[in-house]
Each structure stands twice: as C-alpha cells, then as structure tokens.
Structure 1
C-alpha cells in the first residue's frame, strides 16, 4: 500500500486497468483450457466407443478374429462375464484383462477411465472405454484403450498459446491504457497550469475549459464561475476598503484642521466652539466605524440569530419616538399582532436607518405603516421629499452610495444606512424595495410573519 501511495495517479490507473484486464484474460484462458480439455476427451471417448462397437459387431456375429483388428486403438480386448480374455489385439495381454474390479464395472456402466500407460508399456496415459455385447446369449465386454498423447499435446499447445497470447495482450493493454489515461489527464494538467498562473491579485484570469462537454469541462466551468465570484468579492472588498478609508479621512482631516487652528490662534478661536465642532466630527467618525463593524458582522458567513419573536408595530413606535425633536412630523400606523421572528436589535437598526433616511429627505412629514398579509409582515416608510428616480432605486442600496448634492456628507451620512438595512432584511429572509410615493419615496420591507403563541411560535405558511 505504501508503494501504491507513492505512485502517480496515472500509474495507479494504468496498474488497475492492467490488473483487471490480466485477471479477466486469465479467467477466460483457464475456462477455455478446461472446455478444450473436456471437448477433446469427449471426442476421444466417442472415437474409442465407435472402435469398440465395430469389434462388438464381430463378436455378435460369433466371428471373433484373434488377434483382434486394432482400428487405431493401443489395446482392444474381448472378455467374458468371468473376466477372462477371449481375444486381444497384437501386443495386448491375452491372459489378463486391461482393467478389472471397480474400473471394469465403471466402463461396463458406460463410463470412461484414465489408465497409467506403463502398465501396458506405453509412455503416455491411456483412456479406456467399454462396449457391452453378447454371443449366443453369453455376455461379452469389448475393452478399448486409446492413447491420450495427442489430446494432452493439444491441451499443452493451447495452454501455451492462451497464456502467451494473454501476456502479449496484457502488455499491449497496459501500453494502451497508459496512452489513453495520459490523454485523458492532459486537460487536468492544463487546468493545473492555469491554476498556477492565477494569483491573489485577481486580473480576471480563468482556467482553460476542455472541449467535449464532459465532467472535466463542467468542472472547469464551475471553477471559473467560482473564480468569477471570488474576483467580484475581492473587487467589492477593495472598493469597500478604499471607500472606508476615504470616508474616515474626511472627519479626521476636519478634526485635525480644527485643532491646528485652535493651537495656532488660541486668542482668535473660542475653545467651546472648537470642542463642539470636534465632537461633531468624532460622532460622525464613531457612526461610520459602527456602521463598518455592522457590515463586517453581516459579511460573516454565520447566519444572523432569528430566535426572538419581534412585535414590529411596537418596534416601529419605539424607533419613531427616538426621532429628535424639531425634525419633521413622524406618524406611525401600527397594526395589531404583526410579528416576525428575528434579532430585535438588528431589526431595530433597519427601521432606524430607514426612518433617518426618510426624515433627512422629507419636506414636512414621514409616515410608517405596519401591516400583515399573505404570510408576510409589511413595514413601509414613506416621506414627501424629492423621491428616488427609477434608475437609482437599486443603486441606493449599494455601499457608500450618494445620489446628489442633497445627500452629501453633512446631510446624508456615509451612505451605508440603506446598504445595512437591506443586508439585515435579506439575512432575515425578507426583501426591501423602494417605490414612488407621489410625492416622495416609499421604502417597503417584507419579512416572514409569525404567530404569537405560547411556547415556540410557528411561522405563517
């Protein structure tokens, strides 16, 4: 097993194919030799019996010649019921029968036996058969012994030919298997070579796809699709890092400028104004870092916890009460028993982000409606602002996206709120879309509804 472990895949496949072919040829050769041996013995027995029947014809006509005609047999004898030899071919024993006892009974019953040829001075073994006959009512038995030399020579030649030819065929199959496996694995070598050229820097490199549409081709296509997804993820990661660095650079630069001015002109700057403006920048930076941490958590492949029964109406009222005084009017229309199963803090962040976005762009009012229907819990957040153009209704959910000057840094934050909201909703098995509220924009959140029952609530089908 250790030797096999050190062999290449090509060598192991060739060895396996060759071994299977060798075993098959060996089994087939053995069966062929056995069949040939039995066929030759059967033919020899039939020939000997015909010779015995010819002699039996003479016996039945009571014209037994002595010596008997051989008809090609080594020895032929005619014996009576007592086992006495009545006639024999030249060279045969005229006093003692060739077989006696159990062997004689076997050939009288129609069987055939093998006999050591040295008993009759023959170098090769003999095949002995018997033919029962009678003369004037007296039972007689014709014994015919023929040589097995030709039969054994034919079997030996056949054995040499079968196993010699099998060896040649096995070697040829080994060579053919090596070439076929070499050709079959050549696309794998090309895939390996293509994989060696791919680095972590991306660049859009892809593996060569073998022709033919076989398993290797499908594997190459699957791997290329995986590489495409990895490139896309790496591109998103690089863009995310670049955007995050850019967003963090701005508050840091503003904070540094405020402090440098305060240090350079201490008499011309009010310390309280400097501290207040520095605090604004620090708070903005803290919100950005918090959003980045949330996105990093959402990018984690582990699923979001969804083991809490959340009352969306109650949650919407709670989030709306947190809107600062002096902002636009916020009205909440919360239906009864609108529940979903999820992580309460995450869903609270979704509503808070949507409500902050609506308040930021509303002219005079924001309306939050919580309903249920069709097995879904629906939350809509509508404002009466400028709205969102249809061409931008998907782009606004991308990270660090700002559509116009009205959504600049001072008014619109970092551009991560809607992206975080969508990813949290998707992680909870829901969807979030934006529609035209005429005027303004309406954000629609759909989540799986759940029943508020004692024990473990069941999801609404």
Structure 2
C-alpha cells in the first residue's frame, strides 16, 4: 500500500506535491498548537477554580469560629469541632458565598444542608470524609472535565454540634468548559479552512515560480537539430531559474559544437575515403579493360598504395570512434620507452629518404607500449613527409618526466597553427596532393594517447628554429596509473 501511494505521488508534479505538503503541514501545526492550547486553557481554568475554592473554604472556616477546637471525647489535633446554636440550613444561609456552592453531607453521603447558590439539578458528590480529613478534586484532575456541570471542589471532614459532617466548597466549571469547547470547535473548523487557504496560496505561488521553467521547457522542446543555434530566454531574476536557463544554454552550446564537429568529421571522412575509392575504382576499370594484361604491372602498385591508405584511414577512424565512445583504454605496464623509440626507428630506417639523427637514453615509464609506439609512428611519419634532408629523434629524462622530441628541417609551423594542427582532419599544407599526404588524424590520435597517459604533446621549434614536436610523459608509476584509470572511465 505504501509503495503504491509513493508511486502515485511520484507522478505528481512539483506544484501538486508542494501544495499537498503545505496543506498537510498547516493541518499538523494547527492540530499540535490546538491540542496544546486546549490543554493549557483547561488546566488554567481548573487552577483558577481551585484557587477560588480554597479561598472560599478559608473564609467559611473563619466564619465558623477560630480557633477551631478539637473534639474532647476521643478527638485528635486534626479534628475540627464547631458548635453553633443555629440550625444547619440557617448556617448555610450565613456561610453562602457568590459563585460557589457550599454543602454539608452526613456520614452516609447525604446532603443535609446547602447554600442558596446550589443549582437544583447540580450533581455534586464528594466523598464522605471522617473528621479531620480533607479531599481536593484538583489533585485527582487528569484530562478534560467530564461534563458542563462539573465542579472543582475541596472538602473537609469536621464535627458540627458533635455530628460528623463533610463541608464541601465547590466552584462550577460550566462557563469555562463552554469557552474551551468553543475554542476547540473553532480549531476543528478553522484548521481545515486555514489548510485550504494555505494550499490555494501555495498553488498560486508555485505556479508563478514554475512559469519560467515551463517556458524554458517549451523553448527547449522546440529546439531540434535544424535550429541548434536558438537559445532559451534567461530571466533577469538571478535565481535558480536563471541559473537553470544559463545551464540549458551552456548545454545547447556544447550540443551545437558537438553537432558541428560530428558533421565536419563525417564530411571530412567521406571526402578522405572518396579519393582512394575513386582511384581504386578507376584503376580496376582500366585493368579490367586491358584484355592483354600488360597494364597490370603498372596498376598493381597503385592498388596496393591506395588500399594501404584506406586501411590506415579506416583504422584511424575506428580509433577515434572508440575514444569518443568510451574513452581510450590503456593496458598499463612498466615500459622501456627507449626500446619503443628504437623499434620505431628500426622500422622506419629502411624506407626513409632522410638522414636520421638519434639520441636515446634509457628511460622507463608506466604506460601502454603499443599506444606509445603508435604516437612515435605518427610523429615519425609526419616528419618523413615534411623533412627536407634530416630527422632528429631524442629521448631523455628531465626531472620526473620522460621527454621525446622529433625534429626535422622542413617547413616550420606558424605559432597560430601550433594548436590547430592537433585537430582532426587539419592539414596545413593544402597545396600538396592528398595522395602523398596523411589523413589529418595522426596528430589528433597522438594527443589523445599522450593525454590518457597524463602527458602533453606540443608543436614548436628547437633552438635553431627547426620544426619540433615534443612529448612529455610522467615517469612516476602512481601518476601514470591514476591518469590511465581516469581515461578508461
């Protein structure tokens, strides 16, 4: 049952839940405050009546004669004896007080005399007391009074003309109880009315507060892929709603940038794939049209070259897609970076057209050897395409970092392009043929790998003004492991 109610409340909007909570809170406050108020009024009324009864009792006893004399025959110091020539009813006429009821009971509990203030239908039944004993109804009071004709009274047992009687002085509580019932009725009726008024006020206030949120929701709902440039209105209130609108606009900015990047990526990838595909298609058609087969030796190298180019491009695209989807996953282990550098140089040396200058120091880091090898391959391939006569590769330890530099004597990268060169599909030399150039993805992939290792890769110049790419990787095992773990999340 509780789970069902919770599920139903979960479907209520903020406005309904806030209104219901306000109404319940008002009812709870009124109920608690009303109960406390009624209890305080009840006890205050009883306390005042009790004080009045004690005062009247003291006055009556003084009128009966002071000092009280204890009964001589078998009496005790606590037994009060009074002697009067007047009859009991005449005595009550003399002892009567306004606002109180005075009566005498015999040992059987029967009323033998009462003051004129006693109501004909008043039911006052105090216990019959032995002489010298007293009874106070306020001490026995606990909770609300039983009825409208209830009394607060004090009784005292005494001898009057040697007859054991009980003198009772009572204060009627009808008026006080009527007032308390009126207050209780007002609380019972006024509580729900206050709850309804509070709920209505909360409904209006929450509605006005949520109006900007509904407007933002409507604006965001109308924004689609065709109009990502639109933004929601930010109210000038500088409150949570304004913060929400600003956050939504920030999210839309990121979505728009991501959409642009995705569209540019798809367009660039399509363009890059179109060129080798067109070359392959044309070459195959030419070879197929040659019945003699003499042209095949000339077309085979072209087919192999374009196939390898497409394979590298597809592999780079898959790598970037994995990075964008779930982050780069590294297989971290202790790696001798100098061996990685030497292996890549050995692979490149037979096919290189340039002089290779190598300076490698032993350096061990914590990283993914195959991924770092991919970084070196991309940097060396880039240097091979742009170098004029030589390529220099250096590895050294510098403080807590391993530093790899790849220099060449080719064209330098302008300062304004040194950051842009690491973006996807960016090639600074637009005049050269695409067949001899790279895909524009190698440096972007290299940066992702280096950043995943907690390092940096930058483009710049050496001391002599030659083109340089520098990679810095942390040698500390703890730092590399922590950063690699973060990159896989």
TM-score by length of 1: 0.84
Task: In structure 1, list runs of 5 or more residues that go unmatched.
Answer: 115-121
2:30 to 25, 46, 65: 25
Map of 1:253 onto structure 2: 278
- Per-residue deviation, 1:261: 4.1
- SS in structure 2 opposite 1:298? helix
Q: Please tell me whether the aligned partners of residues 113 and 129 of structure 1 are also in contact (alpha carbons under 8 angstroms).
A: no
Select 1:126's aligned residue among 119, 142, 151: 151
User: Of 402, 420, 427, which residue of structure 1 is paired with 2:452?
Assistant: 427
Task: Give yes or no for the alignment of 1:301 onto 2:326.
Answer: yes
Name the CA distance, whole Å, in 2 between partners of 1:394 and 1:13. Answer: 52
Using a 3 Å threshold, how does the CA distance of structure 1 residues 19 and 102 change in structure 2: closer, same or farther?
farther
Distance (whole Å) between structure 1 residues aligned to residue 49 and residue 166 of structure 2: 19
Mapping of residues 33-112 of structure 1, within 5 Å: 33-61=38-66, 66=91, 67-73=93-99, 75-77=101-103, 88-90=114-116, 99-101=126-128, 107-108=134-135, 111=138
Instruction: Provide the rounded CA distance (Å) in 1 between the counterparts of 2:205 and 2:20.
Output: 13
- Partner Cα separation in structure 2 for residue 28 and residue 107 of structure 1: 37
Distance of aligned partners of 1:147 and 1:331 in 2 relative to their CA distance in 1, 3 Å threshold: same
Taking the TM superposition and a 5 Å limit, the aligned residue runs for 1:5-404 are: 5=10, 7-61=12-66, 66=91, 67-73=93-99, 75-77=101-103, 88-90=114-116, 99-101=126-128, 107-108=134-135, 111=138, 124-130=149-155, 142-201=167-226, 203-263=228-288, 270-323=295-348, 324-336=350-362, 338-404=363-429
Structure 1 residues 50 and 19 mapped into 2: Cα distance closer, same or farther (>3 Å)? same
SS of 1:409's equivalent in the other structure is: coil
The answer (yes or no) to whether the contact 1:129–1:143 under 8 Å persists in 2 is yes
Contact 2:132 2:157 in 1 (8 A): no
Tell me if structure 2 keeps the 8 A contact 1:126–1:145. yes
Q: How many residues align?
A: 445
Q: What is the rounded CA distance, in whole Å, between the counterparts of 1:257 and 1:458 in structure 2? A: 51
SS at match of 1:434: strand
SS in 2 for 1:412: coil
Cα distance in 2, alignment partners of residues 106 and 150 from structure 1: 30
With structure 2 as the length reference, what TM-score do the two structures score? 0.80
More off after superposition, 71-80 vs 412-421: 71-80
Provide structure 2 residue ranges, at least 5 long, that are not aligned to the other structure. Answer: 67-82, 142-146, 484-489
Is contact 1:379–1:446 with CA below 8 Å preserved after alignment?
A: yes
CA RMSD, 1 decimal = 3.7
In structure 1, the partner of 2:75 is: none
What residue number does 1:118 align with?
Answer: none
8 A Cα contact 1:316 1:332, kept in partner: no
Deviation of the 1:7 alpha carbon:
4.0
1:150 deviation in Å?
Answer: 0.9
